[in-house]
A and B are shown apart, each in its own frame.
Chain A
Amino acid sequence: MLAQPDIAALLITLKLAATTTLILLLLGTPLAWWLATTRSRVRSAIEAVIALPLVLPPTVLGFYLLLAFSPDGPIGATTAALGLPSMAFSFWGLVLGSAIYSLPFVVQPLQNSFAGLGRVPLEVAATLGARPLDRFISVVLPLSKMGYLTAAVLGFAHTLGEFGVVLMIGGNIPGETQVLSIAIYDHVEALEYSQAHWLAAGLLLSSFLVLLMIYSANRRFHLMKTA
């Protein structure tokens, strides 16, 4: 079964994924809303930047983050000036890296969901006296439930599975920055195949269950809509 370090890695992974997902939902909402509604010309550029983690090797992102975290880098210099500990090889460094790495998985479903609403429900709400924030809370949020579910699940699952960024900026410190994917790698390196199996099969199964949940919820939602 799972040994103590593996349980620690599991807990850190869950904490990291949950924190990252929460932050991304909060920051991703205004960003996705802006992307879905703006007529600005810089939109395409922003969309391309957000989609970069989809195509870049994670090590590229990790490499640049590591440079930024160094005492001479912009983030390292800022944390040092504020008297904060360095982000490199720390949990919050991992959160930042994961947030950037999983950003498209949260922003894109939200953006699609917002764009799919069309302008009519918002216009109706406006004519009925609802102000912008009120319109967002009373109309957009409830009608975007599926988008939020998809965004949350994809963001969470994608963070669970990340490897390259964590390896570059996390430093694989057991109990602090060692996450599941890296623990598996360590076990394989050490030829501890049975421990690796426990973790790998667990990740495989839980990822499958999570995706099954989204797809069946999506199906129910569509059936409900067309009923």
Chain B
Amino acid sequence: MIEAALQLNKPDFKLEVNFSVPGRGVTAVFGPSGCGKTTLLRAMAGLEPDTTGSLSVNAEQWLGANGSKAVEERRVGVVFQNPSLFPHLTVQENLLYGRKRLRKITEPIDLKELISSLGIQELLLRYPEGLSGGEKQRVALGRALLADPRLLLMDEPLSALDQSSREKLLLLLEKFLQDIDIPVFYVTHSSEEVARLADNLVLLANGVVSDHGAIQQVLGAVDGELSRSDTAFSMIEGQIATTQLPGLICVDCGAGIVLQLPDSTSMSGFRYQPGSAARLRIRARDVSLCLEAPQRSSILNILPAVIAELAAKPHNGSRIVKLDIAGKQLLSKISEYSVRQLELRAGQPVFAQIKSAALI
């Protein structure tokens, strides 16, 4: 477990957080900019000396009644927003900076394997100044991991990159972060990164944790901070179906649910292998409800569903409705007017029209 109860007063900002998340997997720290995500990460790393409260990482006390463990004692790996390699050291020297300072190496890491899985074997003898942003971040990630950290903190590692290197690094992180056995805290304001990387979610707003827990649970909380925001979305897991229709990609989500998406393969140049796992991100505002099955619609995905829960109160004239589709949860954001007009209530069968879904 990672358990935190942290307070930090800065002249213009107050952080007061309480949460506990499992001690493994990727925990996304999600929220709008200025909500204190980076400050939370810095406080966890020990880089904000005025932090009070308690923090323990897998039963190891970093902050508490016995005082605060120094940053260099915490064994915390940090990948900063802006690549921060040491300019006077080569890539290889950067990679080994932390490893050389380990008192004893408990986790034998295969250096060659790590370097090749990060795709940086060609860069070892070069200096950071000639590297691209994506390359620098991969080296920074390798450098943090080689120091055998107990917790890896990543502060919007993709935000300083251009679109194509961001996509490349995200693909690498998706696989990489699942394979390593170290808990990861990943700060982001991108719902796509959350959906693609996270197992757990800590929602932050104005320096306070508004919700935290397993990702499906937090995403599905109809009265939660996330549901009320414009970014409310659901995540459905499935696999690329073996039978495909022309011009479409079909994703089999189990229990007879097959979602169809326009095939943009020609655009992305990326071919989806039938049978491979897929995650779909569906924005709540892209899901509308009908009481009867619509006929001859241009909308590809119309699924029978049951209303599981309605948000207690409307927010800005709309209401979040949680649907149950054969055991999968899906959020829909519709106008309060429609809620009244259709007399929607929990337990009611409806049809969900999914205007668009993103394969991520």
A: residues with CB less than 8 A from B are 120-121, 123-131, 134, 138-139, 142-143, 224-225, 227
Across-interface contacts of A225 in B (CB, < 8 A):
87, 129
Across-interface contacts of A131 in B (CB, < 8 A):
72
How many chain-B residues does the 8 Å CB contact rule pick out?
Answer: 26
Q: Are B45 and A127 in contact (CB under 8 A)?
A: yes
Across-interface contacts of B98 in A (CB, < 8 A):
127-129
B: residues with CB less than 8 A from A are 45-47, 70-72, 74-78, 80, 82, 84, 86-88, 97-98, 101-102, 129-130, 143-144, 147
**With A124-B84, A138-B97 already in contact, 18 other A-B pairs whose C-beta atoms are closer than 8 Å:** A120-B80, A120-B82, A123-B78, A125-B86, A127-B72, A127-B76, A127-B78, A128-B72, A128-B98, A128-B143, A128-B147, A129-B101, A130-B101, A131-B72, A134-B101, A142-B88, A143-B86, A227-B130
- Minimum distance in angstroms from A163 CB to a CB of chain B: 39
Alpha-carbon distance between A27 and B47 when the two chains are bound, in angstroms: 28
Alpha-carbon distance between A130 and B72 when the two chains are bound, in angstroms: 6
- Minimum distance in angstroms from B237 CB to a CB of chain A: 34
Q: What would 23 A/B residue contacts be, using CB atoms closer than 8 Å?
A: A120-B80, A120-B82, A121-B84, A123-B45, A124-B78, A124-B80, A124-B86, A125-B86, A125-B97, A127-B47, A127-B76, A127-B78, A127-B98, A128-B72, A128-B98, A128-B143, A128-B144, A128-B147, A129-B75, A129-B98, A130-B72, A143-B87, A227-B130
Across-interface contacts of B87 in A (CB, < 8 A):
143, 225
Across-interface contacts of A124 in B (CB, < 8 A):
78, 80, 84, 86
Alpha-carbon distance between A147 and B130 when the two chains are bound, in angstroms: 23
Across-interface contacts of B143 in A (CB, < 8 A):
128
Q: Are A227 and B129 in contact (CB under 8 A)?
A: yes
Question: A134-B101, A225-B129, A227-B129 are known contacts. Are A127 and B77 too (CB-CB below 8 A)?
Answer: yes
Q: Are B86 and A139 in contact (CB under 8 A)?
A: yes
Alpha-carbon distance between A125 and B82 when the two chains are bound, in angstroms: 15
Q: Are A129 and B102 in contact (CB under 8 A)?
A: yes
Alpha-carbon distance between A124 and B42 when the two chains are bound, in angstroms: 11
Across-interface contacts of A129 in B (CB, < 8 A):
72, 75, 98, 101-102, 147
- Minimum distance in angstroms from B291 CB to a CB of chain A: 56
Across-interface contacts of B46 in A (CB, < 8 A):
126
Across-interface contacts of B80 in A (CB, < 8 A):
120, 124
| 8 pairs of A and B residues whose beta carbons are closest in the complex | A128-B98, A129-B101, A126-B71, A142-B88, A127-B78, A126-B72, A129-B72, A124-B84
Across-interface contacts of B76 in A (CB, < 8 A):
127
Alpha-carbon distance between A130 and B74 when the two chains are bound, in angstroms: 11
Alpha-carbon distance between A138 and B86 when the two chains are bound, in angstroms: 10
Task: Tell me the nearest residue of chain B to A126, going by C-beta.
Answer: B71
Task: Tell me the nearest residue of chain B to A224, going by C-beta.
Answer: B129
Across-interface contacts of B101 in A (CB, < 8 A):
128-130, 134
Alpha-carbon distance between A227 and B126 when the two chains are bound, in angstroms: 13
- Minimum distance in angstroms from B88 CB to a CB of chain A: 4
| Residue of B75, B77, B97 with most chain A CB atoms under a 10 A cut-off | B97
Alpha-carbon distance between A134 and B98 when the two chains are bound, in angstroms: 12
